[in-house]
Amino acid sequence: MSRPLVRWSLLGLSLLAFGAALPVARADVTAAANGESAPAEKPAEPEVPAEMLTPQAALEAFVKRMQANEKSSAAELLDLSQLSAVAADSRGADLAYKLFRLIPAVGDPPTQGGESEINPWYLQKEGSSAKVDFEKAESNPDYEQSWSLENWLLYSAPEAEQITIARDGVGRWRFSAETVAVIDPLYEQFEKRIDELAEKRAELTAANGDTTATETEPTETFGVWVRKQFPQSWRTTHFLLPTYQWLLLAAFIPLGWLADWLTRRVMTWIGDMLLFRIDPDFVEEHKTTAGVWQPVGRLANAAVWVFGARFIELSPTLTSILLNGLVIVTIVAAVLALFRVLDLVGDYFTRRAKRSSRQFDNLFIPLANSTAKIAIGVVGVIATIATFSDELPSTLLGGLGIGGIAIALASQETLSNFVGSITLLFDRPFEVGDYVKIDNVEGSIESLGFRSTRIRTPLDSEVTLPNSKLASSSIDNLGRRKYRRYLTLLGVEYSTTPERIEAFCEGIRELIRRHPHTRKDFYAAYLHNFGANSLDIQLLVFFEVPDYATELRERHRLLADVLRLAAELGVSFAFPTQTLYLQKGEKCEVPELSDETPDRSGARTAAKIAGELPNYQDRPGPVKFPGATQFE
């Protein structure tokens, strides 16, 4: 057995030791729910049931409910406020049964109307006038003190004084919390007497040939039945607990480990088998789902302890601590198990989205996963709070109403981020992997979360932007470009002849037409400007590529071809230079102007270069983009 499993299995025993050292802490709200502290504004008093109006009514209702085998209903007449909600639910019926058996063992309940061999406490036989005399019990609803059954029982033992019926803060008469606390010790003390009375009733019933008595008595609870399976000597308390309870707790260690191991093995087998059929990629990537089911195994281990602790009759104090601790452990294990399952499901849909063209899933799956985890975490917190009191969750919600304004102000940014994530999810201005530019941040989208979006920059740093800011920002999605523009100037030397410039520009356009990744319906390569040091040729081209890396590769191919073209045509690229001419006496030959005026001389020369003046219909039309030139 591994160390973590041993530590997990011994958690229950550790909680027992903690319970022996520390008292049970009670929440203030539990006290308030039972009328022990006055609220700031006195609410309307609840209506007290008729069976709780007086000590007599409470006692009579308790006995009749037990005779009808309604143990859970009879437990309502016990003040279980000192127990947690989990412990009260677990031990209520058991404590009611023990109290019913204990009362006639510490004294004789008074009867009236005749005599009966079997005390009418256990049976009201048809035709018999004997019945329990509840008239002698206290019937004053305004009785100021707790009322002890010692005042009602005949030939009562001194311990009967500890069994009292008290009125709580809202006027309900029930068996007091102090009585509930001593039921287990008194039952152990008088257990031999209780067994003797039971044997005597069985003998009288068998002698009379009447089985009605045993059929109408309340049935044993599971905890009492388990207790009776052990010898009387094992039921004696040694170091906080009876011996048989220590043995049962020790047995939970291997049982919990076995449940852990079996659960993980079975769930791993089922998970691997199902995933191998629906998602073979998972098996290739992760080999097995064993790691996913570890929290589920811990959950099964805790469940064994919780189930066992509910039926071995631990004291109310230890039951409260042990069950509360185990329930909290169970809730934590359940939350972790659900987290693992969500991760498993999320990974499956993520791999499925990668195999398809639906980029929306890449945004939705992480957001849905994180939202589900937050919801599960909130439910886990509320369930943990509910472990200590049934009233606490509703009181917490009431507190949210009182402090709603403060909470709304404190969570305004969180809520705005969540609303922003929903807006981005449905508006879909980008997908995972898109290269975007947002204000001063640019990079590739990595994930859209519940609160923020993560962007990987070209420097490989990760930038986190709140979703509320993204929802209100201008997003330049460069990743959705069909074409990627490239604009530059090619500077050639001033000594380049116009004919070579024409040939060079047409050669560049031909390179663009023959390039496999360029846009063929719009491009440009023309003499653009007379620069300070060069004749500038503007090159405008659009690359049809899926990503930036491919764009760089294809741009490299085009520019390398341009260099080869320039070398073939004898075109030299210019760079910032200055040429100094030193003239000695003789002047450079300059063509003489004609005898005409300078304006007419310039116009005549221009007309000679440009050719005849075309008509309106003969002027060149818009630029056309033909296909690649065919050569023989």
Tens of pLDDT, residue by residue over 552-601, are 999 999 999 999 999 999 999 988 776 676 666 666 676 776 666 776 77
547 — pLDDT class (breaks 50, 70, 90)? confident
Q: Examine the domain organization and report whether 197 and 331 are in the same domain.
A: no
Between vectors from CA 573 to CA 572 and to CA 575, what angle results, nearest 5°?
130
In 126-211, alpha helices (H): 177-189, 191-208
Of the pLDDT bands very low, low, confident and very high (cuts 50, 70, 90), residue 13 is very low
Residue at a domain's end among 542, 569, 596: 569
Q: Which DSSP state fits 220?
A: P
Is the full-model pTM beyond 0.95? no
User: Which tens digits make up the pLDDT trace of 444-457?
Assistant: 888 777 778 888 88
Count CB atoms within 10 A of the CB of residue 229: 8
| 95-148 residue pLDDT tens | 999 999 899 889 888 887 655 555 656 655 544 556 788 888 888 888 877 899
CATH number of the domain to which 463 belongs: 2.30.30.60
Residues 501 and 436 in one domain: no
| pLDDT in the model for residue 552 | 92
Mean pLDDT of the residues in the chain:
77
Has residue 164 got a pLDDT over 90? yes
Q: Are residues 179 and 281 in the same domain?
A: no
In this structure, of 149-158, 160-169, 223-232, 611-620, the range with the lowest mean pLDDT score is 611-620
- CA dist., res. 155 & res. 364, Å (int): 76
The confidence score (pLDDT) of residue 325 equals: 79
The structure tokens listed for 68 are 């009808």
How far does Cα 345 stand from its chain's mean position? 14
Q: Which residues, in sequence order, are bridge partners of residue 414?
A: none
Percent of the chain exceeding pLDDT 90 equals 17
End position of a domain, from candidates 338, 362, 388: 388
Beta strands in 381-534 (DSSP E): 435-438, 441-448, 452-456, 462-466, 475-477, 484-492, 524-530
Asked whether residue 228 is domain-assigned, the answer is no
CA 135, CA 109: separation in Å to the nearest integer?
A: 12
Residues with Cβ < 8 Å from 212, sequence gap 6 or more? 123, 125
> Which pair of structure tokens corresponds to residue 608?
């000679």
Question: Where does 312-461 show beta strands of DSSP type E?
Answer: 435-438, 441-448, 452-456
CA 334 to chain centre: 11
User: What percentage of residues in the chain have a pLDDT greater than 70?
Assistant: 75
25 pLDDT higher than 70: no
**In the prediction, which pLDDT does 378 show?**
86
Query: What is the predicted pLDDT for the residue at 114?
Result: 56
Task: Give the integer Cα–Cα distance in Å for 453 and 435.
Answer: 13
Residue 463 clears pLDDT 60, i.e. is over it = yes
Note whether 95 and 198 are same-domain residues.
yes
Mark whether 297 and 379 lie in a shared domain.
Answer: yes
C-beta of residue 51 within 8 angstroms of C-beta of residue 61: yes
Residue of 185, 183, 211, 213 whose CA lies nearest to 101: 183
Write the burial class of residue 463 (CB in 10 Å: 0-12 exposed, 13-18 middle, 19+ buried).
middle
pLDDT interval class at 221 (50, 70, 90) = confident
* pLDDT of 11 above 60: no
The answer on pLDDT for 17 being more than 70 is no
For residues 381 and 335, membership in a common domain is answered with: yes
Domain boundary (203, 234, 253) is at 203
CA distances from 184 to 76, 135, 357 (A): 18, 28, 67
Kindly state whether residues 373 and 449 are assigned to the same domain: no
Range of the domain at 145: 55-110+125-203
CA pair distance 314, 255, nearest whole angstrom: 19
Q: Is residue 86 pLDDT above 80, yes or no?
A: no
Q: How distant, in Å, are the alpha carbons of 496, 523, 562 from that of 501?
A: 7, 17, 13
- Residue 547: DSSP 8-state: S
**Average pLDDT over every residue of 32-48:** 51
Are 411 and 417 spatial neighbours (Cβ–Cβ below 8 Å)?
no
pLDDT at 406: 59
- CATH code, domain carrying 559: 3.30.70.100
Closest CA to 123 of 59, 55, 64: 64
Total number of domains constituting the chain? 4
> Which among 321, 502, 360, 370 has a CA at the least distance from the CA of 445?
360
Same domain, 297 and 160: no
Residue 5 pLDDT exceeds 60: no
What digits encode the pLDDT tens for the residues 466-521?
888 887 788 888 877 888 899 999 999 998 999 999 999 999 999 999 999 999 99
